[in-house]
Structure 1
Amino acid sequence: MGQKPGCSGVNRSSNAARYGSLAEKWAADRYGLELERDDWHDARRGDRPGDVKAAMDSRNATRFRLWEAQHRKLRREDGFYAFVLYRPVGRGIDVLRSRTIAARSLRVRFGGAGDHPKGNQAKIPPARIFS
């Protein structure tokens, strides 16, 4: 069985991970972040923990995904999010919009994510972040 035209054979998850990593590096340069990955944040600016949320602009339902336990901890620790909306270009990305937001100022409703190990999630459309 052959590949569909335009498919590279690389699975979507590995592409998403690569693009997410590129978005993290872009946000680190743009916002002066130190990348520091653990189970609840990706970055730090001074004493404040932060998490970079990247979303690919597409015709489908583009969303930023936030996780409830992570969000609660970022709020407690006076953390922030760096949101990056991008479009893939070759093996890189073209950042369309970006913004940082204090986690405590972002009110979201969380719902079930099936059996996802990260627990409950919220899916936020870019229009809500960049309006």
Structure 2
Amino acid sequence: MSRSQNAARYGALAERHARERYGLDVDHSPWHDARDSSGDPWDVKACMATRDAPRFRLWKKQHTRLARAGGGYVFIEYRPVGVGIRVLRTRTVRARSLRLRFYGAGQHPKGAQIKLPPYRIFG
């Protein structure tokens, strides 16, 4: 299985964990993955703890939209185990509470981004 196929599978498992843990409903759109019982949008961001430089990647346009809609992020740090994942830490954070400095991503179609290491989220 390719690296991108693994990443997609792990991401889907992280989303399922977030939905179960926080009572979210699937609602995929280009800028979020789920909604809570109040209708607020949430995007799940996952990173693999075993990578050399684990990080959560956030995009400025998505972040601005989440903040305006009163939504947030579910951050999940995990380890791959067999064909699944073992969740190490999770945390929800409202987008408007994050103070971020985005930077250019070259010619990336999603535009400006920031890569946050887990310690910035989990302390």
TM-score tier after normalising by the smaller chain length = over 0.9
**Which position in structure 2 is the counterpart of 1:89?**
81
**Which position in structure 1 is the counterpart of 2:66?**
74
Partner of 1:42: helix, strand, or coil? strand
Once the two structures are TM-superposed, the CA of residue 58 in structure 1 deviates from its matched residue by: 1.9
Letter matched to residue 93 of structure 2: I
Once the two structures are TM-superposed, the CA of residue 59 in structure 1 deviates from its matched residue by: 4.5
Please, what TM-score do these two structures have when normalized by structure 2? 0.96
Max Rg structure: 1
Q: Distance in 2 between matches of 1:66 and 1:26?
A: 20
More strand by share: 2
Unaligned runs of 5+ in 1: 1-9
**Percent of aligned positions with the same letter in both sequences?**
61
Question: What CA deviation, in whole Å up to 9, does each residue of 1:11-63 have, x standing for no partner?
Answer: 11111011001000001000101111110100100210010000000241100
Identify which of 55, 58, 62 aligns with 2:50: 58
**Which position in structure 2 is the counterpart of 1:34?**
25
Q: Distance in 2 between matches of 1:112 and 1:18?
A: 28
Q: Distance in 2 between matches of 1:119 and 1:21?
A: 24
Please, what TM-score do these two structures have when normalized by structure 1? 0.90
Q: Displaced runs of 4+ in structure 1, greater than 2 A?
A: none
Count of equivalent residues: 122
Task: Tell me how large the CA RMSD over aligned residues is.
Answer: 0.8
